[in-house]
Amino acid sequence: QVQLVESGGGLVQTGGSLRLSCQASGRTFSSNTMGWFRQAPGKEREFLARIRWSGITNYADSVKGRFTISRDNAKNTVYLQMNSLKPADTAVYSCAAAAAGTFVQWAYWGQGTQVTVSS
């Protein structure tokens, strides 16, 4: 059974940092594009970042320069380093794995971890 499990969320003050982890199990995702998304209450899910198997990354404008996505294929884990956090970053953050050979067809999802940024 394929599972993606996020961790590392919590409460942080404005300007603070958090590092989210997404541990995959059930199969290896070293050849898959992995991504991070978030959803705030009353808003649509928002794409944040993706990392391809080659290490190439893409970011949404809203987080570019503040968030960094990385992966450790040996650990089957993807990370999201979040710096200079703002109250607007408060949301449930989820990781996803794309279907093989694609960059945007997200086939597997984690359950999410809450990030709350206080002002």
Strand partners, 98: 106
Instruction: Give the CA distances from residue 20 to residues 6, 39, 74, 88, 101, in Å, rounded to whole numbers and listed in that order.
Output: 7, 15, 17, 17, 25
Lowest mean pLDDT among 20-24, 28-32, 85-89: 28-32
Q: pLDDT value at position 115?
A: 98
Q: pLDDT value at position 65?
A: 97
pLDDT of 64 higher than 90: yes
Question: What's the longest Cα–Cα distance across the chain?
Answer: 41
pLDDT tens digits for range 90-113: 999 999 999 988 888 999 999 999
Give 48's Cβ-side CA count (13 Å radius).
27
Give the Cα separation of 24 and 7 in Å (integer): 12
Residue at token pair 């694609």: 102
Mean pLDDT calculated for residue range 60-82: 97
In the structure, what pLDDT confidence band is assigned to residue 1 with cuts at 50, 70 and 90? confident
In the structure, what pLDDT confidence band is assigned to residue 12 with cuts at 50, 70 and 90? very high
